[in-house]
Amino acid sequence: MQGQIKDKNNIKIFILYLMREIDYPLEYGDIHDIVVQDGFVNSFDFSDCFRELLDAGNVAEKRDGETQYYVITPHGEHVAEYLSSGILRQVRERSLRSAMRYLSFKSRGATLSCEIKAREDGKYDYHCEICERGEAIMSLSMTVETLKQAERMKYNFDGNAEEIYRRIRATLADSGGF
C-alpha cells in the first residue's frame, strides 16, 4: 500500500480531485470519510486543508434547510483538473473507487468491518463483514498463516468489498451441475 500524502498542497489537490470526480454536493462528514478512508490522508490534515480550501474559494458552502453541503467551485475544478496528475494514478483510482463504494453503501445503509486477531499458535484469524441496515449480508472468517497475508486480504477487502461480495455470492449460487 502507498504511504500517506504528507504535503499540504497535495492533500488539497487530492480533496479537490475526489470532489470533482464525485460531482455532487456532500456533507462535511462524508467528504472527510471519503478522503481519509484509505489512509492516504489523516483526519487532522484533512480538517486543516479543507478549511484552507474553503478560505481560498476552491470549495463553497451551500445550505438546504438545516443541512450544510459543500461543492467544488469552478476555480477548485480548474486546480483539480490541472494538478491532480501529480498524485499517483493508483492512489487516485483506489480512492475514487472507495469513495463511490462508500457513497453507494451509505445510500443503502451498508457498513464494512474487517479485523485481524493473532492466535496463540502464530496464525491469524481474519474476519470481514458487510452489513446493510444493521443486518449482516456477508460474514466471512478464515485462518491464515501470516500477518502479511491477513493484511493483504484486509487491504483488498477494504478496496473492493462490493466486487468480492458479488463474486462470493455468484460462486456459491452457481449450481455446478447439481
**Alpha-carbon gap, residue 30 to 46, rounded angstroms:** 12
pLDDT value, residue 131: 87
pLDDT tens-digit map of 132-171? 878 888 999 999 999 999 999 998 888 778 778 878 888 8
**Alpha-carbon gap, residue 166 to 87, rounded angstroms:** 30
Q: DSSP letter at 141? A: E
pLDDT value, residue 1: 42
Q: Where are the domains of the chain?
A: 8-106, 109-173
pLDDT value, residue 2: 54
Per the DSSP assignment, residues forming a β-bridge with 124 are 118, 144
**Cα–Cα distances in angstroms (integers) from residue 111 to residues 87, 130, 133, in the given order:** 28, 6, 8
CATH class of this structure's domain 8-106: mainly alpha
Q: DSSP letter at 155? A: H
Say if pTM beats, i.e. exceeds, 0.85.
no
The three three-digit cell numbers of residue 114, written as one number:
474487517
**Cα–Cα distances in angstroms (integers) from residue 51 to residues 25, 70, 158, in the given order:** 16, 11, 28
Per the DSSP assignment, residues forming a β-bridge with 135 are 132
Q: What is the pLDDT along the chain (178 residues), one digit of tens a residue?
A: 457 898 999 999 999 999 999 988 999 999 998 899 888 999 999 999 999 999 999 999 999 888 899 999 999 999 999 898 888 888 988 888 888 877 877 777 778 889 999 999 999 999 999 988 788 889 999 999 999 999 999 988 887 787 788 788 888 877 555 4
Q: What backbone torsions phi and psi does residue 59 show, to the nearest 5 degrees? A: -130, 140
The three three-digit cell numbers of residue 154, written as one number:
484486509
**Alpha-carbon gap, residue 150 to 140, rounded angstroms:** 13
**Cα–Cα distances in angstroms (integers) from residue 3 to residues 99, 119, 171, in the given order:** 18, 28, 34
Residue 25, classed as helix, strand or coil, is coil
Check if the beta carbon of residue 18 is closer than 8 Å to that of residue 99.
Answer: yes
